[in-house]
Chain A
Amino acid sequence: MSASRLTRRRAITLAGAGVAGVAGVAAGAGALVGDSRGPAAASDHPAGAVPFFGEHQAGIVTPAQDRLHFVAFDVITKDRARLVEMLEEWSAAAARMTAGRDAGVLGAVGGMPEAPPDDTGEALGLPPSQLTLTVGFGPTLFRDADGRDRFGIADRRPAALAELPKFPGDALQAPISGGDLCVQACANDPQVAVHAIRNLARIGMGVVSVRWSQLGFGRTSSTSRDQATARNLFGFKDGTANLKAEETDRLRDQLWVQPGDGPDWMTGGSYLVTRKIRMLVETWDRTSLAEQEEIVGRTKGSGAPLGRSKEFDEPDFAARGDDGKPLIPEHAHVALAHPSRNNGAHLLRRGYNFVDGSDGLGRLDAGLFFIAYQRDPRRQFVPIQTQLARHDVMNEYLRHVSSGLFACPPGVRDGGDHWGRALFG
């Protein structure tokens, strides 16, 4: 009895401070309140915690988790101070949630009975599940459609954050594209990812408004050599040749923004491209195995490049069959996307499968939520996608319905730092 009264009293004092809008309280006071979701396990355990603070944001080279909740926001306030305050509050909440704690200081059940809890509660009792939260800033945060400098940061917009060109065949839907801010939540438990996004959206009410969001399952890439390659909804291994966390030199060249690349606030960050790609799975499923493999350029079973025997064998584009034709057709997906055809450009992909139910015609509303990080989209995603959009035979089975481009700043260093500090500072 006395223990619970003590907790309650402390909770009320903290609630009073919270009303005054002191965001900093969240980080400091966290230690006072018991961890309601149990201690974090080792970071390599699927249920464990991934460190939030660091040089780079977590959720980029972090071994791809199984589940995704991605959300894009519009900023609806004109008040720069409110936006920065929200980013501070988000960072404090993210540090807590990625450690497996509640979003707020009081928690889902620690506050006053008369007040709505500062955590929504659906993750109570769940472990951190390797939750990572990764934030990005869209081009429209810097200037709106009318060219207005919205928050006095237009001159800090990196040249690499240039709007993507319209690719042939794009069927983009504006309401599910773009956004001023994005948050990528990845976790091994969908409930943990959804909980994180829901709480950030709530903290942001009045400052940001959810523009669109996407749930994903079944990672379609591996970002570490320890991970087996997963399959996409076409049934093929995806991400065999992906950039991996272990390739430090290549990550420096291809993934992380380097000093001198653009404005300093992006150094150590990365550019994120998202594409929602609807897959017409019913027609794909009626395609012969041989044709499917020719379209992809790999065998469906092992994932080996056509003409080779093991998954990680290098594709041999010169190899020809008995009929004199290339074993990997010139317009196969793997050929068009290969670095050798794109000035050595690589991407770090960490996309997810999605199924948004059915489309009313009895077809699965399904596909790939493509996510790619890179040092400069103008030299990486844009040329690769241009090739694919023009020539990829797979396009017959694909529709690009949403597109997003975001500048993901470097990592949050410690409790005194927050997302966007260098940009707005």
Chain B
Amino acid sequence: MRTTRFFALAAAGVLATAGVTACSDSTKDEAGAAGGPIVVKATDTACEVGTTDLGAGTANFKITNSGAKVTEFYVYASGDRVMGEVENIAPGLSRELHVELPAGTYETACKPGMSGKGIRGALKVSGSAQPLTADAALAGATDNYQRYVKSQTDALLEKTEEFVGAVKAGDVAKAKTLYPVARTYWERIEPVAEIFGDLDPKIDGREEVIEEGMEFTGFHRIEKDLWQSGDVSKDGPIADRLLVDVKEIVAKANAEKLSPLQLANGAKELLDEVASGKITGEEDRYSHTDLWDFAANLEGSKAALSALRPALEQRSPELVKQLVTEFANVEAQLGKHRDGDGWKLHTALSKAELKELSDGINALAEPISKVAAVVAK
């Protein structure tokens, strides 16, 4: 019987005492271990971190980008193991990062222009926090990912509103620019969205999957009109409908708490999405913006795994090492196809370049397919 076995295994898991410390109460970590957000002043040439000496527990960084380039902020453990990261901090904006840090030495990094090794600084964490059992690490994973879903759905709603606005205003050029941007937030959390069966096809269904009697709506319907005929004058109702559907899924997604197993499987499914639909250019067949979706799927997969990382570190450090290596590999491969702030079109890549990406995704998806079993152990 499944349940019995599950409990027996969970009990066994406790014996493997955790070395990782963290705060499992997600409502409390606003305060952070050091008693308030650590201010990070990021510019194009500097990365000033408010303090370089912390107590163990959950640290809360507040990063303000006063530079001219989009930046990112990372906390690395030795060997550039990512403990926490915030991406896409636009000039003038502030973003927060909550990261669980046991005692040890770390590095902080700002990455103006979102590339390279970044501007590094040392970070020391000392003392100890309440040690967690394996199960609490998993509970923490769920909370952690829930925050991610919240941040992504906020942005999804905002960017979809802008996109819908442009479509209804007949501004084809602006709508084309916004299309891959709005989808980025969608593609990062797609496994969550897929839980709600009928909404996913309404928002993201492609023409061939629409069943008899069902209307072809959503992003790809508008994509077709934008790129094929360039005429969106009749798409007002479709755009309104998209917004209604997105609002509904945002509300549902935030009410849903994913189990650690769903998280693990979601991380794998995102890569399967890449392997089956993006590599082939099937997904965005009119706009050819598949690489935007590719990058977003990859980021979403990484976010789900980051949430599980404390639990994985305890249970299978070898697997974590492999995942870090393979993520870095695919990111480097994908990085070659950047185009300004976005990505090259699928049609601009040679067959050999697509095969390289496909190999990279396969190499990453293999170890990721083992995560669920490690979580269930």
Contact = CB atoms under 8 A, between A and B. Distances in A.
Contacts of B364: 206
Nearest to B351: A175
Nearest to B9: A12
Interface stretch (B37-45, B227-235, B298-306, B355-363): B355-363
A6 interface: no
A174 B373 CA distance: 40
Contacts of A20: 316, 318
Interface string A85-122: 00000000000000000000000000111111000000
A209 B363 CA distance: 9
Interface in A255-303: none
A261 B198 CA distance: 68
Q: Is the interface of B mostly helix, strand, loop or mixed?
A: helix
Contacts of A113: 2
Contacts of B5: 5, 8
A202 B362 CA distance: 9
A202 to B, nearest CB: 7
B372 interface: yes
B203 to A, nearest CB: 29
Interface in B144-190: none
A362 interface: no
Interface in B326-377: 326, 355, 358-359, 362-367, 369-370, 372-377
A19 B363 contact: no
Contact of A114 (B363, B366, B373): B373
A206 B326 CA distance: 8
A114 B9 CA distance: 13
A159 interface: no
A228 interface: no
A29 interface: no
B316 A114 contact: no
Contacts of B362: 205-206, 209
A210 to B, nearest CB: 9
A206 B373 contact: no
Contact of B372 (A16, A114, A205, A209): A114
A116 B365 CA distance: 11
B366 A206 contact: yes
Contacts of A21: 318, 322
A63 B241 CA distance: 66
Contacts of B367: 206
Q: Which of B326, B364, B374 has the most CB of A within 10 A?
A: B374
A15 interface: yes
Interface string B190-211: 0000000000000000000000
A42 interface: no
Nearest to B264: A114
B4 to A, nearest CB: 9
A410 B319 CA distance: 34
Interface in A112-164: 112-116
Interface string B231-257: 000000000000000000000000000
A206 B356 CA distance: 11
B375 A114 contact: yes
Contact of A19 (B9, B261, B370, B376): B370
Given A19-B316, A20-B318, A209 B9 contact: no
Contacts of A115: 369-370, 372-373, 376
Contacts of A209: 355, 358-359, 362
A20 B377 CA distance: 14
B376 A112 contact: yes
Interface string A168-203: 000000000000000000000000000000000010
A207 B5 CA distance: 35
Given A114-B372, A206-B326, A206-B366, A16 B377 contact: yes
Nearest to A113: B2
B318 A19 contact: yes
Given A8-B5, A202-B366, A206-B362, A15 B373 contact: yes
Interface in B1-30: 2, 5, 9
A76 interface: yes
B152 to A, nearest CB: 26
A74 to B, nearest CB: 8
Contacts of B322: 21
Given A8-B5, A12-B9, A205-B362, A116 B369 contact: yes
Contacts of B2: 113
Given A12-B377, A16-B377, A209-B359, A114 B318 contact: no
Interface in A58-89: 76
A49 B370 CA distance: 32
Nearest to B367: A206
A76 B377 contact: no
Contacts of A116: 369-370
Contacts of B363: 76, 205-207
Nearest to A77: B363
Interface in A2-30: 5, 8, 12, 15-16, 19-21
A190 to B, nearest CB: 24
Contacts of A114: 261, 372-373, 375-376
Given A19-B319, A114-B376, A76 B9 contact: no
A194 B363 CA distance: 21
A205 B377 contact: no
Nearest to A115: B373
B317 to A, nearest CB: 9
Contacts of B376: 112, 114-115
Nearest to A112: B373
Nearest to B322: A21
Interface in A34-73: none
18 contacts: A5-B5, A16-B377, A19-B316, A19-B318, A19-B319, A19-B370, A21-B322, A76-B359, A76-B363, A111-B373, A112-B376, A114-B261, A114-B375, A115-B370, A115-B373, A116-B369, A205-B363, A209-B359
Interface of A: 5, 8, 12, 15-16, 19-21, 76, 111-116, 202, 205-207, 209
